[in-house]
Structure 1
Amino acid sequence: MKILLFGITREITGQSRIEIPAGAGITTVKALKNWLGRQYPAMQGLTSLAVAINSEYAQDDDVLNTDHEIALIPPVSGG
């Protein structure tokens, strides 16, 4: 499963894209967020983290498939 990273999530991981191993057992957005928090503890400190599946915002209980385009949308600030 490939995950596209933007903003602070890219800075935390040091990558613009990460790949989740097939055997990681990640089937939902919530499971993905939990996995990311374990792999990259700094992500646990984000006040909000949206996930998009195929360019649509996803909910925590949405199911993930390996053929989905998944992107992390970090919190943004405006001025």
Structure 2
Amino acid sequence: MSETAVRLLAFGGTKTIVGTTEVHFPIASSCSASEFLDDVCRRYPQLAPQRQALRLAVNGEYVDSDHRVASGDEVALIPPVAGG
């Protein structure tokens, strides 16, 4: 079985937790954005408290929780942004 993966990009506080701005993140197969984010939170448990506030952008587009994430995609973790 060949490994499938996405290019995971981390910004803001998520970058601190992940430890880098970009990581090769293995996935078993195509999954929903929600399932993908669950996997990310399992790998990086410090993200779990932010889980509901995190957004995902897949290939440069914000996506809903049911959007399919597949091998080769670029997935960005978008933390909440506060303005003033």
If the length of structure 1 is used for normalisation, what is the TM-score? 0.86
1:52 to 53, 57, 67: 57
Tell me: CA distance 1:52–1:26, structure 2 relative to 1, closer, same or farther (3 Å).
same
Report the counterpart of residue 23 of structure 2 in structure 1: 18
Report the counterpart of residue 67 of structure 2 in structure 1: 62
Whether the aligned pair in 1 keeps the contact of 2:30 and 2:71 (CA below 8 Å) is: no
Moved over 3 A (4+): none
Answering whether residue 46 of structure 2 is matched by residue 42 of structure 1, we say yes
Specify every segment of 5 or more residues in structure 2 that has no aligned partner in the other structure, as ranges.
1-5
Report the counterpart of residue 28 of structure 1 in structure 2: 32
If the length of structure 2 is used for normalisation, what is the TM-score? 0.82
Whether the aligned pair in 2 keeps the contact of 1:26 and 1:32 (CA below 8 Å) is: no
Report the counterpart of residue 75 of structure 1 in structure 2: 80
Amino acid at match of 2:53: S
Report the counterpart of residue 3 of structure 2 in structure 1: none
Q: As a proportion of its length, which structure holds more helix?
A: 1
Amino acid at match of 1:42: Q
Q: Alpha-carbon deviation of 1:42?
A: 1.0
Q: How many residues align?
A: 78
Tell me: CA distance 1:35–1:26, structure 2 relative to 1, closer, same or farther (3 Å).
farther
Specify every segment of 5 or more residues in structure 1 that has no aligned partner in the other structure, as ranges.
none
